[in-house]
Structure 1
Amino acid sequence: MSAPRLASALEVAALIRMAEAGGGFGMVLHRGEPDSGSILIVILDNQGFGQTHARAFERLPTASGSRSWSLSRSQDPEKKEKFDTYLARRIEQDPDLWIIELTIAEGEQFI
């Protein structure tokens, strides 16, 4: 028997609050299904040098049956539009998907 899963909307709100409490910023880019939608987290590191590096993380099933966060896409600074195209394609594939953006140094600490 698996443990009950936290509602997606609640988890999203908590992630955004944690980023803001850590001095960062968080926002919802796409609102998904409130109870059971999957979550994709875009982490932006902007250290004030004008160059922002984005990485997308998703919780994916593992061989053991559990789910763990995995890097699904990293933005190429030379081809930023490809990252946006990837996010749009993920929404088309899964309209229940939540996409949130966290702008904070060392954002991986939240996953």
Structure 2
Amino acid sequence: MAADARLTSAMLVGALRRRVAAAGGFATILVKGDVISGVILVQTLEKGRETGLFERVSNFAGGYALMRCGPSIEEGPEALAQYVARRRKSDPDLWIIELDIPEAERFAVETLG
């Protein structure tokens, strides 16, 4: 499903959760943001191991892309928790969804990008 500017954040997150679940993975909403236009962060895992943090951003072509954000995996879970806390403080409308499935980034890109 390609993301469309008319789709709300809640609809996009819901579609992502359904796609991941249908493929046998787990998708958990960690933080619910603004239903209409909240920024979406996607925390990716594989077998419980962190693989990255991504943000849905607009691109110059009028669409959307997924961009890696936050600290590197090597910086550890504390650095990630601090980054997420700062982002939530500066943007209370933020969504955070955690995906635990092989190739989690691919699912996020295909649904949100």
Distance 1:79 1:45 in 2: 16
> Who is 1:38 aligned against?
39
Query: After TM superposition, where is structure 1 displaced by more than 4 Å over at least 4 residues in a row?
Result: 63-66
Count of matched residue positions in the alignment of Structure 1 and Structure 2: 104
After superposition, residues 32-71 of structure 1 pair within 5 angstroms as: 32-46=33-47, 52-64=49-61, 66-71=63-68
* More helix per residue: 2
* Structure 1 unpaired stretches of 5+: none
TM-score by length of 1: 0.82
Match of 1:16, SS? Answer: helix
Give the greater-gyration-radius structure (CA): 1
Cα RMSD between the aligned structures? 1.8
Distance 2:68 2:22 in 1: 24
Deviation at 1:89, TM superposition (A): 1.1
Deviation at 1:62, TM superposition (A): 3.6
TM-score by length of 2: 0.81
Match of 2:24, SS? Answer: coil
Choose 51-60 or 13-22, whichever is displaced more. Answer: 51-60
